[in-house]
Amino acid sequence: MHTQQGWVWGMIAVQIALLIIGGWVIYMFYARLRDVAEELMKLRVAYEFANPPKSGGTRPLTPAESAANPFIPSTGNDRYKPKS
């Protein structure tokens, strides 16, 4: 009986050790993910600093404006659009 109790306590100790090791591995995994996210943020900021957005952007045309503009090519799906 004393030997079985020793085995039970030994197994409990092994399970606690595995739980602690598993928790440490998960913590280190998420810490590495945070580091990768910080590096990506630095890259994005550096890219946006080197390539500022264009201020003269154009807005997309509304369907009424695009229908009136003969220079915009047709997509070939005109037969599926509702007739107005």
In a domain, 38, yes or no: yes
pLDDT in tens, 10-30: 999 999 999 999 999 999 999
In a domain, 35, yes or no: yes
In a domain, 5, yes or no: no
In a domain, 76, yes or no: no
Residue-averaged pLDDT of the chain: 81
Asked if residue 76 has pLDDT above 60, the reply is yes
In a domain, 39, yes or no: yes
Give me the pLDDT at residue 68, please: 55
In a domain, 72, yes or no: no
pLDDT in tens, 41-51: 999 999 888 88
Number of domains forming the structure of the chain? 1
| Domain range for 24 | 19-49
Greatest alpha-carbon pair distance for the chain in Å reads 94
Asked if residue 74 has pLDDT above 80, the reply is no
In a domain, 67, yes or no: no
pTM above 0.85, yes or no: no
Q: List alpha helices for the chain, DSSP H.
A: 2-50, 63-68
Structure tokens at 6: 């020793």
